[in-house]
Amino acid sequence: HHMGLEEPKSNRDLRRQAILEVARAVFAEEGYAAASMSSIAARVGGSKATLYNYFRSKEELFAATLVGYLTELSATLAEAVDDAASPDDRLSQLSDAMIDFGVERPAFVDCALTLLRRPGDELMAEVGQPVMIGLGQAMWSSLTRVVTVLEDGVASGQHARRDVRGR
């Protein structure tokens, strides 16, 4: 790639976002297995080659779609929790918000489960490092909210630590 031929970052980002929105709709309607890069490209109004300029594989596009969902989940959890509430109440608020999020977005649940069933090495081969890192960060931002509440619960004595070894 010569620098002169690169489109401005903002245009590329907007195009990438547009592809993700279409992909999300197609995955939601058709499911991961049935969705094709061709049908996504047709809706975006480009060729499959256009998609492959942004995403190296259907898996990577799918993983990037999941990053979008997880980012929304993290924001949803942040809004759902009353920081002044007890750890037990906050845990309830988090779990209710997670369940509602999944119920309202069955495609998100389908996406997450489909990706989680893939062997890690296969996924790494099909999904580029930036998207994998994005996926990790997006998962962590939601998980860390749960971890914080659990730690507060243990610290306040509300959640007793159980010996996981069962002794």
Euclidean distance between CA atoms 27 and 56, whole angstroms: 17
Q: What tokens appear for 117 in the block? A: 């069933």
Q: Which residues contact 141 (CB under 8 A, 6 or more apart)?
A: 70, 71, 74
pTM above 0.85, yes or no: no
For residue 2, pLDDT beyond 60: no
- Cβ proximity of 67 and 134 under 8 Å: yes
Q: Which residues contact 167 (CB under 8 A, 6 or more apart)?
A: none
Half-sphere exposure of 51 (CA within 13 A, CB side): 25
For residue 53, pLDDT beyond 90: yes
Residue type, 78: A
Read off the pLDDT of residues 84-122 as tens digits, 9 standing for 90 and up. 898 889 889 999 998 899 889 888 888 788 877 877 777
- Cβ proximity of 91 and 153 under 8 Å: yes
- Cβ proximity of 142 and 80 under 8 Å: no
